[in-house]
Amino acid sequence: MKLHAAAILIIFWLGVFTVHTVKGSAGSQPMRKFSCVSLFTQQLNIRQLVSYEKQQVPVNAIMFITTKGIKICVSPDQKWVQAAMKKIDQKRATKGR
């Protein structure tokens, strides 16, 4: 029984060491949990957008996050997208004061 418990303990510690090693090497490079692969073509309601992230890979896009936490990818070349980003930046600036 002691041998069985020791084997389980060794396997557990090897697992912890492996996770820690992988987490350390991958943790040094930021990884996105959500990445844009296609773009939404319709204009969004700017009042429903709370933040955005710029993305260049795999496609050049702006990922807007709505008040409900929904992430929507759009083309950064559209005029309304630039206006929405500017409005979000202005909101952030006034909150920081």
Please write the tens of the pLDDT for every residue from 32-54: 567 888 999 999 999 999 999 99
55 closest CA partner among 27, 76, 80: 76
- Closest listed residue to residue 60, CA positions, set 45, 72, 77: 77
CATH number at residue 60: 2.40.50.40
16 pLDDT higher than 60: no
Our count of domains for the chain comes to 2
Same domain, 66 and 90: yes
When comparing pLDDT for 9 and 20, which is higher? 9
Instruction: Please check whether residues 12 and 42 belong to one and the same domain.
Output: no
Domain that holds residue 11: 1-30
Phi, psi for 54 (deg, rounded to 5): -90, 145
**Do both 13 and 51 map to the same domain?**
no
Clarify whether residues 42 and 67 are in a common domain: yes
49 shares a domain with 89: yes
Say what the pLDDT of residue 88 is.
96
Residues 51 and 85 placed together within one structural domain of the fold: yes
pTM (two decimals): 0.63
Q: Let me know whether 37 and 81 are in one domain.
A: yes
Report the candidate in 60, 84, 63, 58 with the shortest Cα–Cα distance to residue 73. Answer: 63
94 has a pLDDT exceeding 50: yes
Q: Which of 5-9, 19-23, 29-33 has the lowest mean pLDDT?
A: 19-23
The secondary structure of the chain in percent helix, strand, coil, rounded to multiples of 5, reads: 45, 20, 35
Q: How would residue 10 be classed by pLDDT, with cut points 50, 70 and 90?
A: low
79 and 37 belong to one structural domain? yes
